[in-house]
Amino acid sequence: MIPSKFDYHAPKTLKKALSLIGEHGDNAKVLAGGHSLIPLMKLRFAAPDVVIDLGQVGGLSGVRVSKDGTIHIGAMATHHTVESARGLKSKCQLLSETASVIGDAQVRNRGTIGGSLVHADPAADWPAAILALNAQLEISSADGSRTVSAGDFFMDLLTTDIKPGELLTEITIAVPPANSGGAYEKMHQSASGFAIAGVAAQVTLDSSGNCAAAGIGVTGVASVPYRAAAVEAALVGGPFTEDAIAAAADKAVDGVDPDDLQGDLHASGEYRVHLAKLFAARAIARAANLAG
Ligand SMILES: Cc1cc2nc3c(=O)[nH]c(=O)nc-3n(C[C@H](O)[C@H](O)[C@H](O)COP(=O)(O)OP(=O)(O)OC[C@H]3O[C@@H](n4cnc5c(N)ncnc54)[C@H](O)[C@@H]3O)c2cc1C
């Protein structure tokens, strides 16, 4: 239960953090809230030579909406910071709602959105919302920065597009247009709060009340969170009737490799598929209601 020896750095600027990460590459681990990293180090599943604590780096933990209608969330923003960010709920309900159902108050005060996304636990809540909102993730290194869409970020179990020497610095999301609504539905694992299955829906209505756009993110069901493209395609252009929503939601696991729909000690694969369809229908109905 004691981590192996490591050097500890607490840089105060992003430039210094990026230079340290560039210098140590694969031998370094970045520390955000430590909720996932510290247990892994104590169990020696992770044994970095160098730990770079981002806690004192300025400018990474804010939430703001810029004049061009973009929401900027620093990677070190805690779940609570997002949940309670002034004015955010009225601009993007899905972000505030997702933050509010992560773990408990202690977890939300310490865990960060960046740590959650980079750790990429298959049962984490943020990926569902980030996928539904088609967020853009800014990844920085000593050589510059690049932007990756949420849909391209999650690559495999606990694996993202972040490479050694890189940091996730910011998550940006376009403020949804008028007549939009978002909702997140999940069944939580009772000890931790992680999702047994969770579905986030973000929809926009056209002037007739039909679906102009839809984003559906699914977590907890497969080894990698995903965008349910078949559900989105079934919704766009149609009405939000009970039948139309049920038919679209029934496609919640379309395209997922059946071998990837495995159960574990918390729930069978079959039950997770059932929940994914059920929560897709509930989240879409609630999002459409909020949009209207
Ligand atoms: C008791 C408990 C209950 C929880 N319940 C839930 C829940 O209900 N739902 C849920 O979604 N989550 C839940 N979590 C997860 C938690 O909320 C954290 O978001 C998650 O564990 C990541 O932790 P962290 O932010 O402290 O990051 P850390 O543990 O510090 O880091 C996690 C990983 O990401 C890397 N990393 C961190 N930040 C960056 C960055 N900016 N750039 C590059 N790499 C980075 C680290 O090197 C490490 O590999 C729970 C955690 C605990 C302990």
Q: What is the pLDDT of residue 262?
A: 82
Confidence band, pLDDT 50/70/90 cuts, at residue 158: very high
- Residues 92-112: pLDDT tens digits? 999 999 999 999 999 999 999
The region, left, alpha or beta by phi > 0 then psi within -120 to 50, assigned to residue 133 is alpha
The domain made up of 7-53 is a member of CATH 3.30.43.10: yes
Residue nearest to atom 2 of ligand 1 (CA): 192
Q: What is the pLDDT of residue 232?
A: 98
- Residues 51-69: pLDDT tens digits? 999 999 999 999 999 999 9
Q: What is the pLDDT of residue 263?
A: 85
Residue nearest to atom 50 of ligand 1 (CA): 103
Tell me how far the alpha carbon of residue 113 is from its chain's centroid: 7
Closest ligand 1 atom to Cα of 101: 8
Q: For the sheet with 167-174, list strands across it.
A: 63-65, 70-74, 167-174, 136-141, 144-149
Q: Rounded CA gap, 130 and 215, in Å?
A: 10
**Is the model's pTM score more than 0.95?**
yes
CATH number of 63-174: 3.30.465.10
Q: What is the pLDDT of residue 155?
A: 96
Best CA proximity match to 137, nearest among 158, 156, 121, 160: 160
Residue 167 has pLDDT above 90, yes or no: yes
Domain boundaries, the chain: 7-53, 63-174, 180-291
Q: Which residues line ligand 1 (CB under 6 A)?
A: 29-37, 75, 102-103, 107, 111-112, 114-116, 118-119, 124-126, 162, 167-168, 192-194
Give me the CATH topology for the region 180-291: Enolase-like; domain 1 (3.30.390)
